[in-house]
Structure 1
């Protein structure tokens, strides 16, 4: 809503009226009854916002969202998935991400240790740059892991093939000499 106020240059004394115009259904009914209880003609934006948040985002929910944000770790998510979750929760705790440095530091804290250790060395203080670099590190590690697994698989297949050829060699010779022995005892006339 704040963006809309800036874009349309809504004056402070009209912000609550402007915002309430966009409320729908239950929220609209709630506002009409709340406004009637206040018995004031003009309601400040701060009052409106405080009442709205108390109704739709009460303090206990804000506390829960804050805890979820503080406990957020990348764990089994990709960096991109972690960034989406981080941004989603950061909206509710602006005091923790109100500067680029704070936002970057908090994001870095939740990264997987192997990625975080490389980010610490880079000393990045800009959130967007940090996210991009973390994605690059993750991509490089994944590519290295795939390459390593591919080499391991090729090595294991090679070992298996060598084992099979040794097996065939041993038993193939015996099988051939056995066939020759049986041909010696085979009657020639069919008798």
Structure 2
């Protein structure tokens, strides 16, 4: 939905209306209940994302994905496979890879030790350079 909002230039005030329109079946029943239970009169986009993720992507699952990210090592993967998995899991740990330099550093830390030690001499600071 975020991508669609960017493309269609949807205002913050209209995002909840657009998303709720597309909810079907069980998700729509959940939304109707959530609206009835909310103490705030108007549910903002940020609030909707929070309660939606709480329902459909609970904290324990997010924690599990974070752990998978922090334990990720290249080991038997090619650089391409490692980069794909890194990118897939990085979205769950925003603050740890929210700058290009942090992302590059974390990616380099997960590389095979022999490769990581050789790359250290280059002092690469961007994600693209490290990959």
Please, what TM-score do these two structures have when normalized by structure 2?
0.89
The match for 1:30 is: 30
Q: Is the 8 A contact 1:13 1:42 kept in 2?
A: no
Is the aligned partner of 1:14 residue 2:27? no
The match for 2:48 is: 48
Of Structure 1 and Structure 2, which has the larger fraction of its residues in helix? Answer: 1
Q: Distance in 1 between matches of 2:22 and 2:66?
A: 27
What 5-or-longer segments of structure 2 have no aligned partner?
none
The match for 2:127 is: 127
Q: Distance in 1 between matches of 2:42 and 2:96?
A: 33
Deviation by residue 1:149-176 (Cα, 9 ceiling, x = unmatched):
xxxxxxxxxxxxxxxxxxxxxxxxxxxx
Q: Once structures 1 and 2 are overlaid, which stretch shifts more, 3-12 or 45-54?
A: 3-12
What 5-or-longer segments of structure 1 have no aligned partner?
132-191
Counterpart secondary structure, 1:86? helix
Q: Is the 8 A contact 1:13 1:43 kept in 2?
A: no
Matches within 5 A, 1:67-86: 67-86=67-86
Deviation by residue 1:96-143 (Cα, 9 ceiling, x = unmatched):
111100000000000001111122111111112211xxxxxxxxxxxx
Q: Distance in 2 between matches of 1:60 and 1:92?
A: 12
Aligned length: 131
The match for 1:4 is: 4
Tell which has more relative contact order, 1 or 2 (C-alpha 8 A, sep 6+): 2
Please, what TM-score do these two structures have when normalized by structure 1?
0.63
Assess, with a 3 A threshold, how the Cα gap between structure 1 residues 13 and 115 changes in structure 2: closer, same or farther.
same
Q: Distance in 2 between matches of 1:90 and 1:16?
A: 26
Q: Is the 8 A contact 1:101 1:125 kept in 2?
A: yes
- Specify the structure having the higher radius of gyration (Cα): 1
